Every structure is written in structure tokens, then in C-alpha cells.
Chain A
């Protein structure tokens, strides 16, 4: 019989037998009071504590079960982690494990340089690969998650029809289990899956359209009209340009840059990103209500007209045959990593959205009314009222998202399994594989990895809290 079973039996006999006797000798129960008796029996230790130590003993008795579980299954493992990380061997019995001192840490650190995991020992290689992948993941994931959650919260906080439904819809993926999520996205992202099918179909249709005569002229005229309408709309209002229309204009500008590819004249790629940067700059200028907002929109308009004339649309839209991409398996494309970020955002965003939504609703509405009285533009109201007041909540969300994405395991393990190669291999997977799935289960190394990971998480969290210390609510 195991230790736990013996203890539990003894405790059970004492609790149920002793408790019944104790209660029945002191209190009288009628037959209808059986449920009440059972409940008293559940709380027997508390009753007993009260009878011995009086009311002063009750809180300790109430705290006991919770603290027992915290102690045994959180604090003891926390300390034990250090001990295990100093021992070697594969034994599962703590006292049979030989003391190896700092050997496990030395293994992990035995690299020429830790920034090049290839130069490490085996243990060091998988640890540092996992660590750097995880750091990359966190650095990309946390801002993406926060921005998407904030935008969604702002949208569902608006006076729109069916708000309850939209909130529920965005929250729904949080309820799904990682296995279900992985199966769904595996199915969608399969090489012959529906995503590739949709992309292929759209491209084929566009190619056919682009092959028709006069497509170039029609496209140019159409886009010119759209651009004129959008820029006119952006400039229409009397004082400062409209932010919403400027955003659309910026998106169009980035597209035009991508298509016209002006950087190819000097032999460089990445025109689209240049366009995107310009568009972002334009939006920032307009949202900061600078004096130069109007003139910069006009300049961008002239620029876009020049770009528009230089584009050969039938060449742009002739895609040729589409070769389906194996989204989760193709190495050296960055797609597996991208989809990981995407699926993680998909499945966790709803939770952070709800927290931010609660923060948004706590902002007193008379602030916005006052802003409206002063004819403040919505963008300005966002930067000056919403953002500063949501900052405490946003800090909480940042910290939670950081800790959460550091521990990413389920989604990676089920979607890519850490592959292709080691591109999406994360730190928790390293710990899991080292300690639990290898043939010789190396608990010591797993524990050493956990300790190092805890150190990194602690540094990150404190760093983040220090940066946002003025807004912090934690």
C-alpha cells in the first residue's frame, strides 16, 4: 500500500468514524436533518478546532486544506526543483539519486557561445534552441496578443448590434481544448486543405481576369477613382484630416508600393514594407494632429498617382500556377512560426479581450461626453482618455500574456511537434522531452532547465513591471 493510501485510510476512518461519534454525542439530529449532519461531518475538523481552541482556532483550520495543497504541490516542488537539479542518474527515488553538484548546469552551459546553440553539447543545444525560440516567440506574441485584444475590445465596446453575440464569438476559442484547436487548424492548414484551396482558387480567377484585354486600363482608372475619393474624404473635414479615411488611404498606398515596386529600380526588394512604413508614418502624423497633416496627405496622393501610372496590372495579377504550401511543415519559410503565433492569438485573445473590456467599461462615460462637447476627435479621445485610463488593465494583461506565452507547449506540441527541424521547438517541450519521454529519463537536466527558465521568466516579469511601474496595479 502506498504512503498516500495508508494516510488517506487512516484519515478517513478518523474523520468519518470519530466525527460521527463526536457529532452524535453532542448534537441531536432528526431524520430529515441527515444532509445537515453530513455537512457538519465534512466540516468536522473545523468544528473540532472550535471546540478545542475556541473561535481563534477556526481560521487556521479553515486555511489548512488549501495551504496543505499549496505547500505540498507548489512550494515543496519549488524547493525540490533545486535539489533535483543538483542530482544525476535516472532513479525515481529521491534518495537514490547521486549528488552531482553543478554538473547539469555545466552541461547546459558547455558551449563555445550560448548564442550559437550549434556549438553546444547535446543538452545545451536543445536547451538554448528552445530558449531562443521561446524568447522570439514571446517578443512577437505578447505585443500581437495585446494589440489584437485591445482592438477587439474597442470594437465590441462600441454601440453595435448584437454585442453579446460578438463578445461570445470572440471568447469562444478560449473554451476549446488545445487538442481540438490543433485538429481544426491541422485540417485547415493541410497541404490540400481549405486554405490552400481558397488561395489557389482566388489566384486562378484573378489570373484569368488579368488575361482579359483592357484589364490594365480598367484597373488603373478604377484605382485612381478610389484613391481620389478616399483622399478627398480624408481631407474634407475643415480642421484636421479624418483618421479613419487616412488609414484606408495608407493601406492603399502600401499596396501600390508593393505592386509598383519602386525599389527594384535600385535593385532592392521590400517595397511593400517601405510603403507600409510610409503609410504608418502618415497615420501617425494625422493622429498626432500635426500642422503638416494636410500637406503630407497631399504629397502622398501625388506619390500614389505617380506609382499608379507605372504599374502594369496585368503583370501584377498574373500569378501563374499556385503550388500549395505545406504551412506547418515547410522548413526555412517561417510559416510554421507564423501559424503558431496566429493560432495562439486565435485561442487566447478572447480572455484578454474580456479583461480589457471590463477596463474599458470602468472608464466614466462623462469623460467622453466632455470630450464631445469640446468637439474632440475620436482619435484624440483614444490617445488622451482611453489609453491612459486603460493602462493599468493593459499592464495586467501584458504580464499575464507574458507568463502565458513563455509556457507555450500544448499548441506547439500538437501542431508542429517542434518542427520542422527545431524551428518551433520551445523551452517547455525541451523540459518535457528531457525528463519524461527520452529513454533514459534525465530528471536532473529537466529540473536544471526549469530553474533557468524560472530565472528568465522572473527577469522578464520584473523588467516589464519596472518599465510600467507607474501604471501597475499588481
Chain B
């Protein structure tokens, strides 16, 4: 009996012939995955759960999972006060508020009867708490309430989306054109061009920072969004990825189109582009990740003008200004990770298989 229970618990997926027993190696593998959950997902989820906590809970580093806040009650003639529970010696409990400063013997008054002030030892008071989702963490900066006017989320979002979409579009078109030329034509200098593109693969972007700044400055696009979009639009990775894919498109298709007197551009646009859609979408995803998360170059080009900040820059500036307002910073962090998370959840199978099969960075 115990033997069969053991078999039942330790067998793995598969039919009777292929299934293996759940061995030590599987045990270690699942242990590793559990550790992975702890290290990868828990910090992100913890940030999310912290971001819906009220300001006081965040400031006092309350490590309970739920957003627990002290109840605030409106008392006639006095205003809003935090609510406490007074536990008398006989075990009776009353809801009170503090009528004076906190001392060893504190003045309190019952909520129902604000006039009846009496003294109780501080140790008999405990905060009256409730679970409350602090939507104000999100709404204050987004709707610019309560003096939170510096996080212009709409502008940041627009800039980020503009940069990402434009750069991706340009990248796709010009990389596909170059890849088409390198894969489907025989012409003088093909090898030279290929080698030139390989060479750019080996030049890390951060060693040309200073002189790229000079180039971008002299073109007059420094400080504008185009200064971020254009310099990185041509990617050697993209050209290679697309070229490898286009090599698999049979030449006969192109010849047939030429028989029908289609121009070369139409062949590119009507035949080659639709057929390389899988590779194009991998490049599109990569490009979106790169642009959306780009930090150093936008920091150099766009930092001086708050109207031009992308989400990443805006969030950095915001976190720097309000070093202590953790509840707002956490909420805005969550806001800025939501779009990319949604894209990821939606396309994750596609992204992971796409990069695994075609992509190097």
C-alpha cells in the first residue's frame, strides 16, 4: 500500500513506458525553481503590495502583507483624528481618540462623547486598524492632487511611446531593406558591407558616448526625442537576424514577380516583408524592449528638459526629488512596470521562443 502511494506521488508526466520516477534530480530542480520564485517574483510582488499601503504603513516599514491602516474618524468640532482602542483593566474595550500629546498617562476621549476626557496609561492603547487599499498613492501623482505636480505621467508616457514606436518602425524598415539587399542581390562590395556591419556589432555603445554627443549636437537633434530615436535605429543584430531569415525565401518567388514586371521595391514590400513576418516580429519585440528600457543615452540627451523626459527619466527624477515619499515612488514604479508586464504576459511564449531560436543581443 505504502509502496503504491510512493509510486503515485513520485511518478512524472508521460505514459507507463516513458514515465520516470521522481528522482533526486527532479527534487533538486523543483527546489531550484522554488528558490527562483522567491528571488524573482517575490520582490516584484512585494513592491506591488507595498505600493497599495497607506503612507503611514509605508513610512513605518510595516512588513505585514495586507495594506493595514489606522482608522481615521471625523469627530464633530475637532476634525479628523486617528482612532485608538482603549483596553481597560476589566477587559472592556472602547474606541477613543487622543485629546492631548502622548505621555505615560495620555488624555483620551471616547469617539461617541468627545467632551468626556480622561487619562489612561499609554500601554492600554492600541491603534484601531482596518484593511484599506490606498488608491491615493496612485491617484495623487496621476491626477496631480495634493501638491504632486512633478510627475507628469501623461507626458512621460507619450514620450516613451513615441520614442519606442518611432524607433521600432524605423528600425524595422531600414534593417529589412539592408537585409534584403545583403541576402537577395549579388553586387560589388557585398562582403565589405557585411564586414562593416559585423564591425558595428563589436563597438559597444558606451565607448562612443562622448563623440556621439558631438555628432548629435552638430545635427541639431540634441535635446529632442529624435536625438534618442535616430542614432540607435540601425542595429547590426536586426540586420543579421533578418538576413538569416530572408536567405530561406526561395528566389523563384522573386523571379516570378519580376516576370510580372513588378519593381524591386514592390517585390520587397509585397513579397519579402510579409514572408519574413516571424523574424520581423522578433526584432520588433527586441527593439521595443531596448527602447522602452533605454536609460544612459536618454539621460544624456533629454535630461535638461522635463517636457522631453521618458518614463524612465521621469521616474528617476521623481525618486530623486522625493527621497522620502516611498509610497508615491513605489506606486509610480508599479505604474511604469505595468505596460511592459502586460506586453510580456500577452506575448511571453512568443518572446521566449523567438529570442531563443533567432536572437542574440
* Pair B212/A67 contact, Cβ less than 8 Å: no
* Pair A183/B47 contact, Cβ less than 8 Å: yes
A246 to B312, CA, bound (A): 47
* Pair A63/B293 contact, Cβ less than 8 Å: no
A175, CB-defined interface residue at 8 Å: yes
Considering only CB atoms, which chain B residue lies closest to A56 in the complex? B187
Contacts A78-B203, A175-B344 hold; do A2 and B289 have CB atoms under 8 A apart?
no
Contacts A63-B177, A159-B12, A450-B209 hold; do A43 and B295 have CB atoms under 8 A apart?
no
Query: 10 closest Cβ contacts across the A-B interface?
Result: A2-B220, A43-B265, A66-B178, A62-B181, A80-B211, A192-B61, A59-B181, A177-B293, A77-B211, A69-B234
Which A residues lie within 8 Å of B217 (CB)?
92
A428 to B336, CA, bound (A): 26
* Pair B265/A50 contact, Cβ less than 8 Å: yes
Which B residues lie within 8 Å of A361 (CB)?
356
A416-444 interface code vs B (CB 8 A; 1 in, 0 out) = 00000000000010011001100000010
Measured between C-beta atoms, what is the minimum distance from A278 to chain B in Å?
21
* Pair B24/A244 contact, Cβ less than 8 Å: yes
* Contact among A160, A242, A396 for B360, CB-based, below 8 A: A396
Given contacts A244-B25, A361-B356, 14 further A-B contacts (CB under 8 A): A62-B181, A67-B234, A70-B196, A76-B211, A81-B208, A172-B41, A175-B340, A177-B295, A180-B333, A187-B46, A197-B61, A354-B352, A409-B296, A428-B209
In A165-215, which residues have CB < 8 Å from any B CB?
Answer: 166-180, 183-185, 187-188, 190, 192-194, 197
A178 to B268, CA, bound (A): 37
B21-57 interface code vs A (CB 8 A; 1 in, 0 out) = 0011110111011001101110110110010000000
* Pair B200/A407 contact, Cβ less than 8 Å: no
Considering only CB atoms, which chain B residue lies closest to A69 in the complex? B234
B206, CB-defined interface residue at 8 Å: yes
B215, CB-defined interface residue at 8 Å: yes
* Pair B219/A197 contact, Cβ less than 8 Å: no
A-B contact count (CB 8 A): 292
**What are 11 pairs between A and B in contact, CB < 8 Å?**
A47-B264, A62-B180, A69-B230, A73-B231, A76-B215, A84-B210, A172-B341, A197-B63, A396-B360, A428-B296, A450-B207
A197 to B64, CA, bound (A): 11
A34, CB-defined interface residue at 8 Å: no
* Contact among B30, B234, B329 for A160, CB-based, below 8 A: B30
B248, CB-defined interface residue at 8 Å: no
* Contact among A192, A355, A378, A403 for B204, CB-based, below 8 A: A403
A144, CB-defined interface residue at 8 Å: no
Task: Report the stretch among A125-133, A150-158, A259-267 that lies at the interface.
Answer: A150-158
B222-262 interface code vs A (CB 8 A; 1 in, 0 out) = 00000000111110100100000000000000000000000
* Contact among A73, A161, A406, A454 for B215, CB-based, below 8 A: A73
* Pair B207/A69 contact, Cβ less than 8 Å: no
* Pair A43/B211 contact, Cβ less than 8 Å: no
Which A residues lie within 8 Å of B351 (CB)?
171
Measured between C-beta atoms, what is the minimum distance from B244 to chain A in Å?
14
B8, CB-defined interface residue at 8 Å: no
In A395-419, which residues have CB < 8 Å from any B CB?
Answer: 396, 400, 403-404, 406-407, 409-410, 414
In B299-355, which residues have CB < 8 Å from any A CB?
Answer: 299-300, 311-312, 315-316, 319, 326, 329-330, 333, 336-337, 340-341, 343-344, 348-349, 351-352, 355
A60, CB-defined interface residue at 8 Å: yes
Measured between C-beta atoms, what is the minimum distance from B332 to chain A in Å?
8
A402 to B233, CA, bound (A): 24
A245, CB-defined interface residue at 8 Å: yes
* Contact among A4, A40, A161 for B220, CB-based, below 8 A: A4
Residues of chain A whose beta carbon lies under 8 Å from any beta carbon of chain B: 2-5, 39-40, 42-43, 46-47, 50, 55-56, 58-60, 62-63, 65-67, 69-70, 72-78, 80-81, 83-84, 92, 94, 151-152, 155, 158-161, 164, 166-180, 183-185, 187-188, 190, 192-194, 197, 233, 242, 244-245, 247, 346, 351, 354-355, 357-358, 361, 378, 396, 400, 403-404, 406-407, 409-410, 414, 428, 431-432, 435-436, 443, 446-447, 450-451, 453-454, 457, 461
Measured between C-beta atoms, what is the minimum distance from A185 to chain B in Å?
7
B104, CB-defined interface residue at 8 Å: no
B132, CB-defined interface residue at 8 Å: no
A151 to B33, CA, bound (A): 11
A453 to B200, CA, bound (A): 17
Which B residues lie within 8 Å of A78 (CB)?
203, 208, 211
Considering only CB atoms, which chain B residue lies closest to A46 in the complex? B265
Which A residues lie within 8 Å of B47 (CB)?
183-184, 187-188
Contacts A187-B330, A432-B296 hold; do A355 and B356 have CB atoms under 8 A apart?
yes
Contacts A58-B185, A58-B264, A176-B340 hold; do A407 and B206 have CB atoms under 8 A apart?
yes
Which A residues lie within 8 Å of B23 (CB)?
244
Which of A58, A174, A410: most chain B Cβ within 10 A? A58
* Pair B269/A450 contact, Cβ less than 8 Å: no
Which B residues lie within 8 Å of A42 (CB)?
173
* Pair A177/B63 contact, Cβ less than 8 Å: no
Contacts A400-B360, A409-B296 hold; do A84 and B214 have CB atoms under 8 A apart?
yes
